[in-house]
Amino acid sequence: MKTNGEMDMCTGPILKKVIVFSVPLMLTGVLQLLYNAADIIVVGQYTGKEALAAVGSTASLINLLINVFMGLSVGTSVAVAQQYGAGDHRAVGDTVHTSIALALVCGVGVGLIGVLLAEPLLSWMGSPREVLAPSALYMRIYFVGMPVNMLYTFGSAILRAVGDTRRPLIFLSVAGVVNVVLNLVFVIVFHMGVAGVALATIIAQAISAVLVVRSLMQRPTSIRYEPRRTRMERAALKQIFRVGLPAGLQGSLFSISNVLIQSSINSLGSVVMAGAAASANLEGFVYTSMNSIYQACLTFVGQNRGARQFRRVRRTLWVCLGVVFGVGVAMGGLFTLFAPQLISIYNTNPEVIRQGALRMTVICSTYFLCGLMEVSVGQLRGLGYSMLPMVSTLTGVCGFRILWVYTVFPLFPTLVTLSWSYSVSWLITFLFQIVTYAVIQRNMPREDERLPAAACAARSA
């Protein structure tokens, strides 16, 4: 362990360090979800079920538009982790400054796309007339804040790559308090509805972005950010795109299946939409907890791959699979048990509660399968493979869900039917990923190629 929040992942007990790395990241993810939860709860309780449906139903479309760019931050994390593990200070510096430049360009680009195409895309998804206008307004305001969203995302990816998950947690805690306070002020005091919660969100995101960039500027190590050096270096950009572009394309194509499912949910009416929106937000708390283990696997494997510690690379996978299984079963079971009570926090309409609880019972009871799938993807990406997990995920998740929507759902057009498409697709994809890793690891060296101290000493220089 290091001062300044960075972590040596190449020596010491893997399980303990995975937990130390993951817990702050888990709490950070929970705080990020509280942004959207605060939005949904405030509009659901003070504005009505139509506003709840409007805010909640935009999530899949927003993810569709931003996932390519968010995937590039995965490329940043893997590149920095491998370079840091190898002790290559110059390459780390180039990647940091290239990533910040890329974040600004991506933020402006996707922001313009979201603002201009919000209403046509929502219409294409079949949003009901009473939901369309507020949904489009929420999306337009949200996408205006996309540059600061991207800055925080890429900056946090850099910090995670060197093991610092504590500072992003602190920054998001500050922003989260601001978000909740502004939600209440804009909606209850100024009666701004969905516009108020969207504005509160982007103000909070701007605060978190400023804090993370400021932290990078103050670092004494190779990840220090100097604004005058902000530019795209060809070699760094190539390495980011090698892992990040397939990850981003996977995320966006993954979202196409979710948009298709959301369109099917929209066809069931605003009450089902509201129940599904509340359920999806709650499910996110389980997902983000498991996703922190994915991030740990990605980063630990990346650093140890850079340091040529292949035995630790293998052990990391099995440790992370065990941890994510435990987290998924425990949290998924808890959310399943208290589903009606949790849904009622968002809206008190009995039918909204019933529909939301039906979805949660299916999703949360099987969510550990999603965690296993995510960790296996993290192992492959940490090793530098991104095309293989992309292909297997697109086949097992996107292809299967699209097939389900067009074959099974028309026979049994209910929210429960749609919910089962998630569970089955997670299992299929996890099996694909494990088989893929089994093939890849045969070609990995059986022994470490140099002592851990060789790389770790270089990083502390």
User: Model confidence over 18-41: pLDDT tens digits?
Assistant: 999 999 988 887 877 776 666 677
pLDDT at 1: 45
Angle of the 89-124 helix axis to the 234-266 helix axis, nearest 10? 30
Domain assignment present for 22:
yes
pLDDT at 460: 43
What value does the mean pLDDT of the chain take? 85
d(CA 224, CA 460): 14
pLDDT at 155: 94
* Model pTM score: 0.77
Q: At 158, give phi and psi (nearest 5°).
A: -65, -45
d(CA 391, CA 301): 21
What is the residue range of 43's domain? 15-459
Domain assignment present for 5:
no
pLDDT at 57: 67
Residue 441 token pair: 């690891």
pLDDT at 455: 45
Domain assignment present for 1:
no
Domain assignment present for 136:
yes
Residue 149 token pair: 């969203």
Residue 207 token pair: 């605060």
Dihedral in degrees, nearest 10, Cα atoms 84, 89, 92, 96: 130
pLDDT at 340: 93
Per-residue pLDDT of 156-205, as tens digits, reads: 999 998 989 889 889 988 988 898 889 889 988 888 888 888 899 899 99
Residue 230 token pair: 């902000």
Number of domains in the chain: 1
pLDDT < 50 regions, the chain = 1, 3, 451-461
Element (H, E) at 7: none
Domain assignment present for 217:
yes
Domain assignment present for 3:
no
How many beta carbons lie within 10 A of that of residue 311, not counting itself? Answer: 13
Domain assignment present for 241:
yes
Domain assignment present for 79:
yes
d(CA 232, CA 96): 10
pLDDT at 36: 66
How many beta carbons lie within 10 A of that of residue 410, not counting itself? Answer: 10
